[in-house]
Structure 1
Amino acid sequence: MNIMVNEVPHQFSQPLTLLNLLSLLALNPAGSALAVNQVIIPRDNWPAHLLEDGDEILLFQAIAGG
């Protein structure tokens, strides 16, 4: 399975959820937001959201401003 994470290609041999992906890549989800194929995925859905071959993931830091 080929997945792009922040425009960096990654290859995995097994199906993954978003939460599994973060763990495998040692990425800290605190204060982060995730989009899969340009659609924001709510944090509550990360453990169940299965990734598919060719998905493009964007991980970014949520910023509050005033």
Structure 2
Amino acid sequence: MNIHVNDEPHHFAGPLTLFTLLNLLDLNPAGSALAVNQVIIPRDNWPAHLLEDGDQVLLFQAIAGG
């Protein structure tokens, strides 16, 4: 299965949830929001949201600044 994460292509075997994707890419979900195909997915749905071949995932992370 081919998934783009922040416009970077990745290839994975088999079904994959958003939560599993974060773990495989070693991304910290703290302070993050995820969108799949330009639709924000609530954090509570990450463990159950199955990705499909060709999905576009965007990871937004809050950063401190001022």
C-alpha displacement at 1:40, in angstroms?
0.0
Aligned to 2:3: 3
Aligned to 1:17: 17
Q: Distance in 1 between matches of 2:15 and 2:2?
A: 10
RMSD: 1.3
Q: How many residues align?
A: 64
Q: Which amino acid aligns with 1:14?
A: G
Report the Cα distance in structure 2 between the residues aligned to 1:62 and 1:49, rounded to whole angstroms: 22
4+ residue runs over 4 A deviation? none
Shift of 1:63: 6.1
1:47 counterpart SS class: coil
TM-score with structure 1 setting the length: 0.92
Q: Percent identity?
A: 81
- Please give the TM-score of this superposition, normalised by the length of structure 2: 0.92
Q: Which runs of 5+ in 2 are unaligned?
A: none
Could you list the runs of 5+ residues in structure 1 that have no partner in the other structure? none
Task: Report the AA paired with residue 61 of structure 1.
Answer: Q
The amino acid across from 1:27 in the alignment is: L
